[in-house]
Amino acid sequence: MIPKDVKLISNEKITQAKTKLMLENPYFGTLLTSIDLRVNNTIASFRPLGDVLEYNDEYLEVLSVSEVSTILANSAMHQALFHTDRGKDKVSSVWNLASDYAINDLLVENGFMLPPMANYASRFEMLYAEQIYTILLGELDLKESDESPEEERPNEEISEEELPQELLAQEEYELLVEQLNIKLEEHGDLPRGIERFIKSNKEPQISWRDELYRYVNAHAKSDYRMFPPSKKHLYRGIALPSIYGEELKIVVAIDTSASIDDELLKIFLAELYEIMQVFTHYVIELIECDAKIQNIQRLTPQELLEPMLKGGGGTNFTPVFDYIEKLNEDFKFLIYFTDGKGSFPNYEPLIDTLWVMPQKENIPFGELLELRS
For range 191-197, the mean pLDDT: 69
Report the pLDDT value the prediction gives residue 161, as an integer from 0 to 100: 42
- From 195-199, 257-261, 341-345, 350-354, the region with the lowest mean pLDDT: 195-199
Residue 99: count other Cβ atoms within 10 Å of its Cβ: 27
Give the model's confidence band at 105: pLDDT under 50 very low, under 70 low, under 90 confident, else very high. very high
User: Who wins on pLDDT, 112 or 27?
Assistant: 112
Task: Note whether 183 and 26 are within 8 A (CB).
Answer: no
Domains of the chain: 4-147+195-203 (no CATH), 247-370 (3.40.50.410)
At residue 257, the pLDDT reads: 93
- Residue 176 CA to residue 198 CA, distance in Å, equals 9
Name the helix (H) or strand (E) containing 39.
Answer: strand 36-39
What is the pLDDT at residue 251?
Answer: 94
- Asked if pLDDT for residue 277 goes beyond 60, the answer is yes
**3 state DSSP class of 46:** strand
Residue type, 73: A
77 burial level (CB within 10 Å; 0-12, 13-18, 19+): buried
Split at pLDDT 50, 70, 90, the class of 363 is: very high
Q: How, if at all, do strands 36-39 and 52-55 pair?
A: parallel
- Predicted confidence (pLDDT) at residue 306 exceeds the cutoff of 80: no
Query: Using CA atoms, how far apart are residues 197 and 127, in angstroms rounded to an integer?
Result: 9
pLDDT for position 11: 83
User: Higher-confidence residue: 132 or 285?
Assistant: 285
CB burial readout 104-141, b (16+ within 10 A) else e: bbbbbebebbbbeebbbbebbeebbbbbbbbbbbbbee
Q: Note whether 286 and 254 are within 8 A (CB).
A: yes
pLDDT tens-digit map of 123-142: 888 777 877 888 888 777 66
Number of other residues whose CB lies within 10 A of the CB of residue 153: 9
> pTM higher than 0.75, yes or no?
no
In terms of Cα–Cα distance, which of 197, 75, 79 is closest to 130?
Answer: 197
Residues with Cβ within 8 Å of residue 278, at least 6 apart in sequence = 123, 124, 127, 131, 135, 213, 216
pLDDT of 266 reads 85
Does 146 have pLDDT greater than 50?
yes
Contact (CB, 8 A) for 47 and 40: yes
Instruction: Find the range with the poorest average confidence among 78-87, 91-100, 149-158.
Output: 149-158
> How many Cα atoms occupy the beta-carbon half-sphere of 136 within 13 Å?
24
Q: Are the beta carbons of 322 and 340 closer than 8 angstroms?
A: no
Residue 313 pLDDT grade (very low, low, confident, very high; cuts 50, 70, 90): confident
- Give me the mean pLDDT over the 6-10 stretch: 63
Q: Do residues 365 and 350 touch, judged by C-beta distance below 8 A?
A: no
